Protein backbone atom coordinates (compact mmCIF):
# COMPACT_ATOMS: atom_id res chain seq x y z
CA UNK A 1 0.00 0.00 0.00
CA UNK A 2 1.27 3.46 -0.90
CA UNK A 3 2.59 5.60 1.94
CA UNK A 4 1.55 8.82 0.24
CA UNK A 5 -0.74 9.51 -2.66
CA UNK A 6 -1.83 12.52 -4.71
CA UNK A 7 -4.97 11.96 -6.71
CA UNK A 8 -5.83 14.42 -9.50
CA UNK A 9 -4.38 17.28 -7.45
CA UNK A 10 -4.91 20.73 -8.90
CA UNK A 11 -3.85 23.70 -6.81
CA UNK A 12 -3.95 27.44 -7.42
CA UNK A 13 -2.30 29.93 -5.05
CA UNK A 14 -4.42 32.88 -3.94
CA UNK A 15 -4.38 35.65 -6.56
CA UNK A 16 -2.36 33.49 -8.98
CA UNK A 17 -3.36 33.64 -12.64
CA UNK A 18 -3.19 29.87 -13.12
CA UNK A 19 -2.73 26.61 -11.21
CA UNK A 20 0.70 25.70 -9.85
CA UNK A 21 -0.24 22.01 -10.07
CA UNK A 22 -2.60 20.48 -12.64
CA UNK A 23 -4.22 17.07 -12.29
CA UNK A 24 -1.18 15.57 -10.55
CA UNK A 25 -1.54 11.91 -9.60
CA UNK A 26 1.34 10.23 -7.85
CA UNK A 27 1.99 7.40 -5.40
CA UNK A 28 4.97 7.02 -3.11
CA UNK A 29 5.77 3.64 -1.65
CA UNK A 30 7.43 3.19 1.76
CA UNK A 31 11.22 3.36 1.50
CA UNK A 32 11.17 4.72 -2.04
CA UNK A 33 13.44 7.60 -3.09
CA UNK A 34 11.70 9.74 -5.70
CA UNK A 35 13.53 12.54 -7.52
CA UNK A 36 11.26 15.41 -8.52
CA UNK A 37 12.75 17.30 -11.44
CA UNK A 38 11.50 20.15 -13.55
CA UNK A 39 12.28 23.73 -14.53
CA UNK A 40 11.85 26.68 -12.15
CA UNK A 41 8.17 27.38 -11.57
CA UNK A 42 7.09 23.88 -12.64
CA UNK A 43 5.40 23.17 -9.30
CA UNK A 44 8.05 21.05 -7.54
CA UNK A 45 8.01 23.02 -4.28
CA UNK A 46 4.21 23.18 -4.34
CA UNK A 47 4.01 19.40 -4.72
CA UNK A 48 6.31 18.91 -1.72
CA UNK A 49 4.24 21.36 0.31
CA UNK A 50 1.08 19.48 -0.62
CA UNK A 51 2.51 16.27 0.86
CA UNK A 52 3.42 18.23 4.02
CA UNK A 53 -0.13 19.58 4.25
CA UNK A 54 1.15 23.17 3.99
CA UNK A 55 -0.80 23.39 0.75
CA UNK A 56 -3.56 24.36 1.29
CA UNK A 57 -3.51 24.82 5.11
CA UNK A 58 -0.76 27.42 5.33
CA UNK A 59 -1.03 29.05 1.91
CA UNK A 60 -4.76 29.06 1.27
CA UNK A 61 -5.73 28.93 -2.41
CA UNK A 62 -7.94 26.58 -4.39
CA UNK A 63 -7.33 22.89 -3.79
CA UNK A 64 -8.97 20.20 -5.90
CA UNK A 65 -8.36 16.47 -5.76
CA UNK A 66 -6.97 14.59 -2.78
CA UNK A 67 -3.65 14.05 -1.02
CA UNK A 68 -3.18 11.29 1.54
CA UNK A 69 -0.20 10.58 3.75
CA UNK A 70 -0.10 7.42 5.87
CA UNK A 71 -3.80 6.96 5.18
CA UNK A 72 -4.78 10.43 6.34
CA UNK A 73 -6.34 13.05 4.10
CA UNK A 74 -4.16 16.16 4.38
CA UNK A 75 -7.23 18.41 4.18
CA UNK A 76 -8.57 17.01 7.44
CA UNK A 77 -5.41 17.33 9.57
CA UNK A 78 -3.11 20.24 10.26
CA UNK A 79 0.49 20.19 8.98
CA UNK A 80 1.70 20.26 12.60
CA UNK A 81 -0.10 16.98 13.22
CA UNK A 82 1.65 15.43 10.22
CA UNK A 83 5.09 16.33 11.61
CA UNK A 84 6.83 13.19 12.74
CA UNK A 85 5.20 11.25 9.91
CA UNK A 86 6.43 13.82 7.41
CA UNK A 87 9.50 16.06 7.73
CA UNK A 88 10.46 18.86 5.36
CA UNK A 89 13.58 20.78 4.50
CA UNK A 90 12.96 23.92 2.50
CA UNK A 91 15.19 25.76 0.05
CA UNK A 92 16.55 28.53 2.23
CA UNK A 93 18.05 27.34 5.50
CA UNK A 94 18.17 30.83 6.98
CA UNK A 95 14.40 31.10 6.84
CA UNK A 96 13.61 27.93 8.75
CA UNK A 97 15.89 28.29 11.75
CA UNK A 98 13.83 29.06 14.87
CA UNK A 99 16.26 28.98 17.76
CA UNK A 100 19.76 30.30 18.23
CA UNK A 101 21.72 27.28 19.51
CA UNK A 102 22.24 24.40 17.11
CA UNK A 103 21.39 21.62 19.55
CA UNK A 104 18.18 23.37 20.61
CA UNK A 105 17.28 23.98 16.98
CA UNK A 106 17.56 20.27 16.17
CA UNK A 107 15.63 19.44 19.35
CA UNK A 108 12.79 21.85 18.50
CA UNK A 109 10.88 19.44 16.24
CA UNK A 110 11.46 16.54 18.63
CA UNK A 111 9.89 18.55 21.45
CA UNK A 112 6.95 19.47 19.24
CA UNK A 113 6.10 15.87 18.40
CA UNK A 114 6.22 14.89 22.05
CA UNK A 115 9.52 12.96 22.25
CA UNK A 116 10.31 11.92 25.81
CA UNK A 117 12.49 14.68 27.33
CA UNK A 118 15.27 12.27 28.30
CA UNK A 119 15.56 11.12 24.65
CA UNK A 120 15.54 14.53 23.00
CA UNK A 121 19.21 15.46 23.42
CA UNK A 122 20.46 12.00 22.41
CA UNK A 123 18.38 11.95 19.23
CA UNK A 124 19.42 15.49 18.35
CA UNK A 125 23.12 14.57 18.68
CA UNK A 126 22.55 11.40 16.66
CA UNK A 127 20.94 13.37 13.83
CA UNK A 128 23.75 15.92 13.82
CA UNK A 129 26.29 13.11 13.65
CA UNK A 130 24.38 11.55 10.75
CA UNK A 131 24.90 14.68 8.64
CA UNK A 132 28.50 15.12 9.77
CA UNK A 133 27.81 18.12 11.98
CA UNK A 134 28.08 16.95 15.57
CA UNK A 135 30.86 19.47 16.11
CA UNK A 136 28.32 22.25 15.57
CA UNK A 137 26.04 21.19 18.44
CA UNK A 138 26.94 24.02 20.82
CA UNK A 139 27.47 26.73 18.20
CA UNK A 140 25.29 29.79 17.71
CA UNK A 141 23.40 29.55 14.39
CA UNK A 142 24.31 33.17 13.61
CA UNK A 143 27.95 32.08 13.28
CA UNK A 144 27.33 29.29 10.76
CA UNK A 145 27.92 29.37 7.01
CA UNK A 146 25.09 28.64 4.55
CA UNK A 147 26.29 25.08 4.06
CA UNK A 148 26.51 24.46 7.79
CA UNK A 149 23.02 25.88 8.28
CA UNK A 150 21.71 23.58 5.59
CA UNK A 151 23.14 20.58 7.42
CA UNK A 152 21.52 21.73 10.66
CA UNK A 153 18.15 21.88 8.87
CA UNK A 154 18.72 18.42 7.47
CA UNK A 155 19.60 17.12 10.93
CA UNK A 156 16.42 18.69 12.32
CA UNK A 157 14.36 16.75 9.77
CA UNK A 158 16.23 13.46 10.12
CA UNK A 159 15.94 13.64 13.93
CA UNK A 160 12.16 13.23 13.63
CA UNK A 161 12.63 9.76 12.05
CA UNK A 162 9.79 10.47 9.62
CA UNK A 163 8.19 7.96 7.25
CA UNK A 164 8.29 10.53 4.45
CA UNK A 165 11.10 13.05 4.04
CA UNK A 166 10.46 16.03 1.74
CA UNK A 167 13.63 17.75 0.54
CA UNK A 168 13.46 20.92 -1.52
CA UNK A 169 16.91 21.68 -2.95
CA UNK A 170 18.53 20.17 0.14
CA UNK A 171 22.12 20.28 -1.07
CA UNK A 172 22.21 23.64 -2.84
CA UNK A 173 24.75 25.03 -0.38
CA UNK A 174 26.73 21.86 0.30
CA UNK A 175 30.05 21.08 -1.31
CA UNK A 176 29.99 18.09 -3.71
CA UNK A 177 31.49 15.65 -1.21
CA UNK A 178 29.07 16.65 1.54
CA UNK A 179 26.13 16.66 -0.89
CA UNK A 180 26.99 13.16 -2.11
CA UNK A 181 27.42 11.86 1.43
CA UNK A 182 24.16 13.40 2.52
CA UNK A 183 22.11 11.96 -0.34
CA UNK A 184 23.72 8.57 0.23
CA UNK A 185 22.80 8.80 3.89
CA UNK A 186 19.22 9.80 3.09
CA UNK A 187 18.84 6.94 0.62
CA UNK A 188 20.13 4.55 3.27
CA UNK A 189 17.59 5.62 5.88
CA UNK A 190 15.03 3.23 4.46
CA UNK A 191 12.28 5.85 4.51
CA UNK A 192 10.37 7.34 1.60
CA UNK A 193 12.03 10.46 0.26
CA UNK A 194 10.75 13.01 -2.21
CA UNK A 195 13.68 15.16 -3.28
CA UNK A 196 13.73 18.11 -5.64
CA UNK A 197 17.09 19.26 -6.97
CA UNK A 198 18.42 21.36 -9.82
CA UNK A 199 21.66 19.35 -9.80
CA UNK A 200 20.08 16.08 -10.92
CA UNK A 201 23.19 13.97 -11.59
CA UNK A 202 23.83 13.08 -7.95
CA UNK A 203 20.13 12.71 -7.10
CA UNK A 204 19.64 10.29 -9.98
CA UNK A 205 22.40 8.09 -8.54
CA UNK A 206 20.36 7.58 -5.37
CA UNK A 207 16.78 7.69 -6.65
CA UNK A 208 14.52 4.74 -7.39
CA UNK A 209 12.10 6.76 -9.47
CA UNK A 210 11.90 10.09 -11.28
CA UNK A 211 8.97 12.44 -11.61
CA UNK A 212 9.42 15.27 -14.12
CA UNK A 213 7.09 18.25 -13.81
CA UNK A 214 6.54 21.04 -16.29
CA UNK A 215 3.87 23.71 -16.10
CA UNK A 216 2.40 22.00 -13.04
CA UNK A 217 1.81 18.71 -14.90
CA UNK A 218 3.57 15.38 -14.52
CA UNK A 219 5.32 14.76 -17.84
CA UNK A 220 7.13 11.65 -16.68
CA UNK A 221 6.82 9.19 -13.80
CA UNK A 222 9.25 6.34 -14.35
CA UNK A 223 12.18 4.34 -13.03
CA UNK A 224 15.61 6.00 -13.17
CA UNK A 225 16.80 4.05 -16.21
CA UNK A 226 13.65 4.85 -18.20
CA UNK A 227 13.83 8.44 -17.00
CA UNK A 228 17.43 8.79 -18.16
CA UNK A 229 16.42 7.63 -21.64
CA UNK A 230 13.48 10.02 -21.64
CA UNK A 231 15.62 12.92 -20.41
CA UNK A 232 18.30 12.11 -22.98
CA UNK A 233 15.70 12.30 -25.71
CA UNK A 234 13.51 15.17 -24.46
CA UNK A 235 15.55 17.20 -21.97
CA UNK A 236 19.22 16.37 -22.65
CA UNK A 237 20.41 19.37 -20.70
CA UNK A 238 19.20 17.70 -17.49
CA UNK A 239 21.81 15.02 -18.04
CA UNK A 240 24.56 17.59 -18.39
CA UNK A 241 24.64 17.75 -22.19
CA UNK A 242 25.29 20.76 -24.42
CA UNK A 243 27.17 22.95 -21.96
CA UNK A 244 30.66 23.13 -23.43
CA UNK A 245 33.79 24.43 -21.83
CA UNK A 246 36.07 26.79 -23.68
CA UNK A 247 39.66 27.80 -23.42
CA UNK A 248 40.28 31.44 -22.71
CA UNK A 249 42.84 33.74 -24.20
CA UNK A 250 44.46 35.35 -21.18
CA UNK A 251 45.28 39.00 -21.34
CA UNK A 252 46.38 41.47 -18.67
CA UNK A 253 45.74 40.77 -15.00
CA UNK A 254 42.68 42.50 -13.54
CA UNK A 255 42.96 41.31 -9.98
CA UNK A 256 45.87 40.02 -7.95
CA UNK A 257 45.85 38.74 -4.38
CA UNK A 258 49.32 38.21 -2.91
CA UNK A 259 49.93 36.57 0.47
CA UNK A 260 46.49 37.57 1.64
CA UNK A 261 45.23 36.77 5.12
CA UNK A 262 41.86 37.68 6.59
CA UNK A 263 40.10 37.04 9.89
CA UNK A 264 36.55 38.00 10.93
CA UNK A 265 37.64 37.55 14.55
CA UNK A 266 41.08 38.48 15.75
CA UNK A 267 43.37 35.48 15.91
CA UNK A 268 41.10 33.19 13.86
CA UNK A 269 42.06 33.68 10.20
CA UNK A 270 39.58 32.30 7.70
CA UNK A 271 42.08 32.45 4.85
CA UNK A 272 45.87 32.58 4.97
CA UNK A 273 48.62 33.18 2.43
CA UNK A 274 46.27 33.28 -0.56
CA UNK A 275 47.79 33.97 -3.97
CA UNK A 276 45.44 34.46 -6.88
CA UNK A 277 45.69 36.19 -10.24
CA UNK A 278 42.67 36.78 -12.45
CA UNK A 279 43.20 37.92 -16.04
CA UNK A 280 40.85 39.59 -18.46
CA UNK A 281 39.29 36.99 -20.70
CA UNK A 282 39.35 34.06 -18.30
CA UNK A 283 36.70 32.44 -16.13
CA UNK A 284 38.07 30.88 -12.96
CA UNK A 285 36.04 28.55 -10.74
CA UNK A 286 36.77 28.51 -7.03
CA UNK A 287 35.69 25.31 -5.32
CA UNK A 288 36.28 23.58 -2.01
CA UNK A 289 34.52 22.19 1.00
CA UNK A 290 32.05 24.24 3.09
CA UNK A 291 33.76 26.64 5.45
CA UNK A 292 37.10 26.80 3.62
CA UNK A 293 36.83 30.51 2.90
CA UNK A 294 35.70 30.62 -0.73
CA UNK A 295 33.26 33.48 -0.20
CA UNK A 296 35.85 35.36 1.84
CA UNK A 297 38.38 35.12 -1.00
CA UNK A 298 35.71 36.25 -3.46
CA UNK A 299 34.93 39.29 -1.31
CA UNK A 300 38.63 40.10 -0.96
CA UNK A 301 39.01 39.94 -4.74
CA UNK A 302 35.98 42.19 -5.27
CA UNK A 303 37.18 44.69 -2.68
CA UNK A 304 34.28 44.10 -0.30
CA UNK A 305 36.80 43.05 2.36
CA UNK A 306 40.27 44.43 2.95
CA UNK A 307 43.03 41.93 3.75
CA UNK A 308 44.62 41.91 7.21
CA UNK A 309 47.92 40.86 5.65
CA UNK A 310 49.18 40.83 2.05
CA UNK A 311 47.92 42.89 -0.86
CA UNK A 312 44.78 42.91 -2.99
CA UNK A 313 45.16 44.76 -6.28
CA UNK A 314 42.26 45.55 -8.56
CA UNK A 315 42.62 47.22 -11.95
CA UNK A 316 39.24 48.56 -12.95
CA UNK A 317 35.81 48.09 -11.50
CA UNK A 318 34.55 45.02 -9.66
CA UNK A 319 31.02 43.72 -9.40
CA UNK A 320 30.01 40.92 -7.08
CA UNK A 321 26.88 38.80 -6.93
CA UNK A 322 26.20 37.64 -3.37
CA UNK A 323 24.70 34.25 -2.53
CA UNK A 324 21.39 35.55 -1.23
CA UNK A 325 19.17 36.97 -4.02
CA UNK A 326 16.80 38.57 -1.48
CA UNK A 327 19.49 41.25 -1.01
CA UNK A 328 18.51 42.61 -4.42
CA UNK A 329 15.06 43.89 -3.58
CA UNK A 330 15.44 47.42 -2.32
CA UNK A 331 13.30 48.97 -5.08
CA UNK A 332 9.70 48.24 -5.95
CA UNK A 333 10.20 47.46 -9.64
CA UNK A 334 12.61 45.02 -11.24
CA UNK A 335 13.99 47.58 -13.69
CA UNK A 336 14.54 50.16 -10.94
CA UNK A 337 16.33 47.54 -8.87
CA UNK A 338 18.72 46.71 -11.70
CA UNK A 339 19.22 50.41 -12.45
CA UNK A 340 20.53 51.12 -8.94
CA UNK A 341 24.10 50.37 -10.04
CA UNK A 342 23.93 52.58 -13.17
CA UNK A 343 22.58 55.81 -11.69
CA UNK A 344 18.98 54.93 -12.55
CA UNK A 345 19.57 54.26 -16.28
CA UNK A 346 16.39 52.24 -16.96
CA UNK A 347 17.30 51.55 -20.62
CA UNK A 348 20.49 49.73 -19.59
CA UNK A 349 18.56 47.97 -16.84
CA UNK A 350 15.95 46.70 -19.31
CA UNK A 351 18.70 45.41 -21.63
CA UNK A 352 20.29 43.54 -18.72
CA UNK A 353 16.92 42.07 -17.72
CA UNK A 354 16.33 40.96 -21.31
CA UNK A 355 19.73 39.29 -21.47
CA UNK A 356 18.80 37.23 -18.41
CA UNK A 357 15.42 36.17 -19.83
CA UNK A 358 13.43 38.59 -17.69
CA UNK A 359 12.01 40.75 -20.49
CA UNK A 360 8.42 41.66 -19.70
CA UNK A 361 9.03 41.58 -15.96
CA UNK A 362 10.38 45.11 -15.68
CA UNK A 363 7.38 46.36 -13.72
CA UNK A 364 7.14 43.39 -11.34
CA UNK A 365 8.12 43.77 -7.70
CA UNK A 366 11.35 41.84 -7.05
CA UNK A 367 9.70 40.02 -4.13
CA UNK A 368 6.91 38.76 -6.41
CA UNK A 369 9.36 36.86 -8.61
CA UNK A 370 10.04 33.14 -8.21
CA UNK A 371 13.31 32.10 -6.55
CA UNK A 372 14.95 31.33 -9.92
CA UNK A 373 13.80 34.67 -11.32
CA UNK A 374 15.11 36.50 -8.27
CA UNK A 375 18.48 34.83 -8.78
CA UNK A 376 18.55 36.12 -12.36
CA UNK A 377 17.40 39.59 -11.30
CA UNK A 378 20.30 39.70 -8.85
CA UNK A 379 22.71 38.69 -11.60
CA UNK A 380 21.29 41.35 -13.94
CA UNK A 381 21.83 43.92 -11.17
CA UNK A 382 25.55 43.12 -11.17
CA UNK A 383 26.10 42.49 -14.89
CA UNK A 384 24.51 45.83 -15.77
CA UNK A 385 27.49 47.73 -14.36
CA UNK A 386 29.74 45.92 -16.87
CA UNK A 387 32.55 45.26 -14.39
CA UNK A 388 36.18 44.52 -15.25
CA UNK A 389 36.09 41.84 -12.57
CA UNK A 390 32.88 39.86 -12.18
CA UNK A 391 32.65 37.78 -9.01
CA UNK A 392 29.75 35.34 -8.74
CA UNK A 393 29.05 33.54 -5.47
CA UNK A 394 26.89 30.44 -6.11
CA UNK A 395 25.03 31.90 -9.11
CA UNK A 396 23.24 28.62 -9.94
CA UNK A 397 21.50 28.11 -6.60
CA UNK A 398 17.85 27.37 -7.43
CA UNK A 399 18.49 27.67 -11.17
CA UNK A 400 17.34 24.83 -13.42
CA UNK A 401 19.66 23.22 -16.00
CA UNK A 402 18.12 25.05 -18.96
CA UNK A 403 18.75 28.41 -17.29
CA UNK A 404 22.23 27.28 -16.27
CA UNK A 405 23.05 26.59 -19.90
CA UNK A 406 21.81 30.07 -20.83
CA UNK A 407 23.86 31.56 -18.02
CA UNK A 408 26.95 29.69 -19.23
CA UNK A 409 26.42 31.11 -22.71
CA UNK A 410 25.98 34.60 -21.30
CA UNK A 411 29.18 34.34 -19.26
CA UNK A 412 31.10 33.03 -22.25
CA UNK A 413 29.76 35.82 -24.45
CA UNK A 414 30.98 38.52 -22.08
CA UNK A 415 34.12 36.76 -20.88
CA UNK A 416 36.49 38.59 -23.21
CA UNK A 417 35.65 41.94 -21.67
CA UNK A 418 36.38 40.95 -18.10
CA UNK A 419 37.91 38.54 -15.62
CA UNK A 420 35.35 36.27 -13.98
CA UNK A 421 35.66 34.50 -10.64
CA UNK A 422 32.99 31.88 -10.02
CA UNK A 423 32.46 30.42 -6.55
CA UNK A 424 30.35 27.31 -6.88
CA UNK A 425 29.55 23.86 -5.56
CA UNK A 426 27.99 23.02 -8.90
CA UNK A 427 30.71 20.85 -10.48
CA UNK A 428 28.91 20.45 -13.80
CA UNK A 429 28.45 24.18 -14.18
CA UNK A 430 32.08 24.86 -13.21
CA UNK A 431 33.29 22.33 -15.79
CA UNK A 432 31.06 23.83 -18.44
CA UNK A 433 31.98 27.43 -17.82
CA UNK A 434 35.42 27.75 -16.29
CA UNK A 435 38.81 27.80 -17.97
CA UNK A 436 40.52 26.71 -14.80
CA UNK A 437 39.39 25.54 -11.43
CA UNK A 438 40.96 26.26 -8.07
CA UNK A 439 40.40 23.88 -5.17
CA UNK A 440 41.66 26.14 -2.39
CA UNK A 441 45.29 25.14 -2.15
CA UNK A 442 45.53 23.07 -5.31
CA UNK A 443 45.04 24.42 -8.79
CA UNK A 444 43.99 22.50 -11.85
CA UNK A 445 43.43 23.65 -15.40
CA UNK A 446 40.30 22.21 -16.91
CA UNK A 447 40.57 20.53 -20.30
Give the interface with other proteins as residue ranges (CB under 8 A).
52, 54, 57-58, 78-81, 83-84, 86-88, 90, 92, 94-101, 104, 107-118, 120-121, 142, 156, 160, 265, 302, 304, 317-322, 324, 326-330, 340-341, 367, 378, 381-382, 385, 387, 391
What are the angstrom distances between the C-alpha of 43 and each of 22, 298, 335?
9, 34, 26
Pairing of strands 86-89, 253-265: unpaired
Output the smallest distance, CB 215 to other proteins, in A. Answer: 24
Q: Which helix (H) or strand (E) holds 268?
A: strand 268-279
Give backbone dihedrals phi and psi of 223, rounded to 5 degrees, phi first: -65, 165
Residue 115 CB, nearest distance to other proteins (Å)? 6
Closest by CA position to 43, among listed 214, 157, 222: 214
How would you label 406-443 residue by residue, b for 16+ Cβ within 10 Å and e otherwise? bbbebbbebbeebbbbbbbbbbbbbbbbbbbbbeeeee
Nearest distance from residue 195's CB to other proteins, in Å? 16
Nearer to other proteins, 104 or 436 (CB): 104
Smaller CB separation from other proteins, 196 or 224: 196
Min dist. Cβ of residue 28 to other proteins (A): 17
- Whichever of 76 and 265 has its CB closer to other proteins, that residue is 265
State in angstroms the smallest separation of the CB of 364 from other proteins.
14
| CB closer to other proteins out of 318 and 405 | 318
What angle (nearest 5°) sits at the alpha carbon of residue 167, between those of residues 135 and 120?
45
Minimum CB distance to other proteins, residue 267 (Å): 13
Judged by CB, which is closer to other proteins: 147, or 401? Answer: 147
Q: 134: how many CB neighbours lie within 10 A of its CB?
A: 16
Instruction: Please state the length of the chain.
Output: 447
φ, ψ for residue 261 (rounded to 5)? Answer: -130, 140
CB atoms within 10 A of CB 104: 17
Cα separation, 215 vs 117, whole angstroms: 45
Nearest residue (CB) to other proteins, 1 versus 116: 116
Judged by beta carbon, residue 97 or residue 204, the one nearer other proteins is: 97
CB of 88 to other proteins, least distance (A): 5
Amino acid sequence: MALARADRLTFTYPEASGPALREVSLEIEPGEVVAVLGPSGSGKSTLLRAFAGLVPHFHGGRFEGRVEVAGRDTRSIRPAELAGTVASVFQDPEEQIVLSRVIREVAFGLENIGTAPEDVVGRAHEALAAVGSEHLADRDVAELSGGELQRVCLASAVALRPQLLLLDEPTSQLDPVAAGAFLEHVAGLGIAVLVSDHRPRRVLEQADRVVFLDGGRVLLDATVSVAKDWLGENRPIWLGASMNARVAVQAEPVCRLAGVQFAYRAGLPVVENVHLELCRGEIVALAGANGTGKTTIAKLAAGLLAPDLGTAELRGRAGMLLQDPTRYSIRERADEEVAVGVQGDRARACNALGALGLAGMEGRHPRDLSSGERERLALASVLVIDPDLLVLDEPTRGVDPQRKAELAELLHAGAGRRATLLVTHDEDFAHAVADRSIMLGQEAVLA
